[in-house]
Amino acid sequence: MNEEQKEPTPLTEVGEFGLIERLTKNIKFHQKSSLVGVGDDAAVIKNEDEVTVVTTDMLVEGVHFDLLYTPLKHLGYKSVVVNLSDIYAMNAKPKQITVSIAASNRISVEALEEIYEGIQLACEIYKVDLVGGDTTSSLSGLIISVTAIGTASESRIVKRNGAKENDLICVSGDLGAAYAGLQVLEREKSVYQENQNMQPDLSGKDYILERQLKPEARMELVQFFEKEGIQPSAMIDISDGLSSELIHLAKASEVGIQIYEDKIPIDPTTVTTMEELNLNPTLAALNGGEDYELLFTIPLDYHDKIKNTPGVSIIGHVTDKNAGYFMVAKGTESMVEIKAQGWQSNME
Ligand code: ADP
Ligand code: MG
């Protein structure tokens, strides 16, 4: 795991406090609301007149990541980003995180430091402060649990339940790339397991691999809403695939959904990769997971403001509850029912 030839330091050598000290010694704050951070019994956060938004996500080795092909720095980065994505999905801004780690003796101090490099890089980019955590041992795999804390003025909070009939359905970025990236990584893993001399063939796949291993959260979309004075009626982040998120949003809002297959944004690399694997690219967008894009609905009045916004696609509209959940298929114009398939191998 390390480029250097140095022997990895076992966790037992530094002890819990030595480890926490090594992992957190370089922390700098970006938020004036972070009053007390690592080193006391609890962190202290000073919020003025805003509401607080809190979310937690746990990443478990063997369930959410495979250390065979996951660079540790990316893993740290991703463990933060998936949480920030949930804060943005409330139309709030993340401010602080806490990080809890359970590691077995198989993991060295240097490996945990690499994870923390990724965590600190995400803190730097998204301007959030690491203010605490917990460190413990695990008998089997590695577990990373991150809690993110954010704020927003109460009137700007966007929940899943506000979508109204005729609202536009929009998504940020493109979908299915993280799933396509995972398929490539899994394919190369099985090739490698059969023949350890084979070099992985990942050429031309940078974009989809990065989408799987080092995703980003849609900070700029929330900033855009603020700048343009746009208040989405409902929003959710896409962690389990478009189908299941559409249904979550529609059920919470008690509405129906109609989207158009040819409007779903899919990157060309995702399309070619899925075709190489004899899989349908639309299915990667609908049922693949971990894109961390934002799915939102907005009243029709915002159509002119949103229609030429780079990085936002209008994919359909909200219908009456009794109309159900449908996608108009490309070419044939036939209506396909949207079913929640979710991303099964990533149980939440
Ligand atoms: P306590 O025994 O009171 O739970 P700990 O010894 O677990 O305290 O933690 C000491 C300090 O270090 C606390 O501020 C805690 O938030 C922080 N901390 C512990 N583990 C981590 C970690 N993995 N990452 C960041 N901060 C941590
Ligand atoms: Mg503790």
268-276 and 206-213 are packed helices; what angle lies between their axes, rounded to 10 degrees? 100
Q: Which of 134, 135, 145 to mutate to test the pocket of ligand 1 (most atoms within 8 A of CB)?
A: 134
- Give the C-alpha separation, 295 to 273, whole Å: 24
**DSSP structural state of residue 237:** E
Reply yes or no on domain 3-156 having CATH 3.30.1330.10. Answer: yes
What's the predicted TM-score (pTM) here? 0.93
Q: Which of 14, 38, 100, 112 to mutate to test the pocket of ligand 1 (most atoms within 8 A of CB)?
A: 38
CATH topology of domain 168-337: Phosphoribosyl-aminoimidazole Synthetase; Chain A, domain 2 (3.90.650)
**According to CATH, where is 3.90.650.10 located in the chain?**
168-337
Report the nearest-CA residue for atom 24 of ligand 1: 133
Report the nearest-CA residue for atom 5 of ligand 1: 134
**According to CATH, where is 3.30.1330.10 located in the chain?**
3-156
**pLDDT tens for the 348 residues of the chain, in order:** 445 568 899 999 999 999 999 999 999 999 999 999 999 999 999 998 999 999 999 999 999 999 999 999 999 999 999 999 999 999 999 999 999 999 998 999 999 999 999 999 999 999 999 999 999 999 989 999 999 999 999 999 999 999 999 999 999 999 999 999 999 999 999 988 888 888 878 889 999 999 999 999 999 999 999 999 999 999 999 999 999 999 999 999 999 999 999 999 999 999 999 999 999 999 999 999 999 999 999 999 999 999 999 999 999 999 999 999 999 999 888 999 999 875 444 333
Question: Between β-strands 256-260 and 325-328, what pairing exists: parallel, antiparallel or unpaired?
Answer: parallel
**What's the CA-to-centroid distance between 52 and ligand 1, angstroms?**
22
User: Alpha helix (H) ranges present in the chain?
Assistant: 11-24, 72-88, 109-126, 177-194, 206-213, 219-228, 242-253, 268-276, 281-287, 303-306
